[in-house]
């Protein structure tokens, strides 16, 4: 994610972040299935999606403080 996107995420409510995490996890699962089937051309997309999920989870965990 870019810095602007991260700043926007930090301002969103926790419920919305949790929804985005769930959507991203579903997309990640689909990418992994497609990878096993040999359909994925861009392997880096999986790594960047995992990083995005972890950044959103970090915002969720720090939001309660």
The model's pLDDT over 6-61, given as tens digits with 9 standing for 90+, comes to 888 888 899 999 999 999 999 999 999 999 999 988 999 999 999 999 999 999 99
In the numeric block, the tokens 């089937």 are attached to 37
Distances (CA, A) of 34 to 9, 10, 22, 40: 28, 31, 18, 6
Angle at CA of residue 19, ends 46 and 22, nearest 5°? 40
Give the separation between CA 39 and CA 45, rounded to whole angstroms: 13
Give the separation between CA 13 and CA 10, rounded to whole angstroms: 8
pLDDT value at position 15?
93
Residue 64 pLDDT more than 80?
Answer: no
pLDDT value at position 11?
87
């Amino acid at each position: 994610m870019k810095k602007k996107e991260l700043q926007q995420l930090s301002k969103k409510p926790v419920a919305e972040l949790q929804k985005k995490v769930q959507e991203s996890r579903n997309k990640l699962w689909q990418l992994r299935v497609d990878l096993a089937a040999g359909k994925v051309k861009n392997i880096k997309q999986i790594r960047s999606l995992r990083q995005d999920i972890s950044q959103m989870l970090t915002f969720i965990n720090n939001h309660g403080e």
